[in-house]
Amino acid sequence: MNLEKYLSITPEIAEAIKSGKPVVALESTILSHGMPYPENVEFAHKVEEIVRGEGAIPATTAILNGQLKVGLTAEELELMCKGEGVGKVSRRDVATYVAAGLPGATTVATTMMIAAMAGIKIFATGGIGGVHRGAETTMDISADLQELANTPVGVVCAGAKSLLDIGLTLEYLETMGVPVLGMDTNDFPAFYCRKSGFGVDFNVESPELCAKILATKWDLGLKGGAVIANPIPVEWELDFDEMEAVINKALELAKEQGIKGKATTPFLLSHIKEITKGVAFASNKELAYNNARMAAKIAVEMAKL
């Protein structure tokens, strides 16, 4: 292995990791493939500020110039937000993008992978990928789930969008031994909605207990990460049935147009955005801010252990 050749961590983040200070990883697919430019630039900066406001250091990841980047400059964030020619990089694409020197946005799977390489234990995102509806014939299961099974990073998210089969996603996580922890909730959230109709494995109630569970998992030598499900704040929650109709419409369009593979999730996200004319986008940003805040609190607790 020759990781040093490819892993590029900013001095601030490198120092924080070395001295055991709280650090929170952030992904870039949410920027390049999940949100419109230039609104995503403001989002990218604000989410980092929120992490700092809680006393942790933000580490947005990306693949640029043949390097796995941990921490981006304002120019690099701008490039990811513009998204021109920026690919969506999951685990299978990593070596290709690095070797070819192509710009790549990191998914949940890739961000977890790079975070673990750097020694970062907590990561905040919007929603995780999962088992797609109809996966029994398409076999479309996000690589995010395998990464959660294997890579030791706690992922703070607002659950998963119901464009996925949430029940099957939770079954898969159970089989793979991934804890699904509710952050002060018994319900597994469905991104825009605080409830999905499914439960979590355990309601952790506090960032402190969450940090303790993660530390214990890794002390015990158990591999893999955890899903830390943090529901959208009540004031930003959207109506479940209305969102269900929107998602069904987007799924229909994808079917009509024969969308497959890695294009599926970005296609669905962009159509949800179009159909809801920005209402969902405001909620999307707020839930991500809420996750960044919670991830930073958990990272601060982890640093005390």
Q: Which of residues 255-284 bind ligand PSU (CB under 6 A)?
A: 262, 265, 269
Q: Which CA distances in Å does 163 have to 189, 206, 292?
A: 13, 29, 23
Q: Is residue 144 a contact point for ligand PSU (CB under 6 A)?
A: yes
10 Å CB burial of residue 147 (0-12, 13-18, 19+) is: buried
Q: Which does 83 bind (CB under 5 to 8 A by kind): ligand PSU, Mn ion, none?
A: none
Binding mask 137-156 for Mn ion (x = CB under 5 A): ---x----------------
Nearest residue to 60 (alpha-carbon basis) of 129, 4, 14, 124: 124
User: Is 161 annotated in the active site?
Assistant: yes
- Strand 7-9 versus strand 23-26 pairing type: unpaired
- Active-site residue (options: 69, 88, 121, 161): 161
User: Is 27 annotated in the active site?
Assistant: yes
Shorter beta-carbon distance to ligand PSU: residue 273 or 297: 273
Shorter beta-carbon distance to Mn ion: residue 144 or 301: 144
Q: Which of residues 88-127 bind ligand PSU (CB under 6 A)?
A: 90, 107-109, 126-127
Shorter beta-carbon distance to Mn ion: residue 79 or 131: 131
Instruction: State the minimum distance, in angstroms, from the CB of residue 162 to Mn ion.
Output: 16
The whole-angstrom separation of Cα 12 and Cα 260 is 40
> What is the three-class DSSP state of 165?
coil
Number of residues engaging Mn ion in binding (CB under 5 A)? 1
Phi-psi region of 181 (alpha: psi -120 to 50; beta: other; left: phi over 0): beta
Q: What are the tokens at 285?
A: 């940003």
Q: What are the tokens at 85?
A: 């020619």
Q: Is residue 34 a contact point for ligand PSU (CB under 6 A)?
A: yes
Q: Which of residues 152-181 bind ligand PSU (CB under 6 A)?
A: 161
Q: Is residue 224 a contact point for ligand PSU (CB under 6 A)?
A: no
Instruction: State the minimum distance, in angstroms, from the CB of residue 65 to ligand PSU.
Output: 21
φ/ψ (deg, to 5) at 119: 95, 25
Catalytic residues: 27, 161
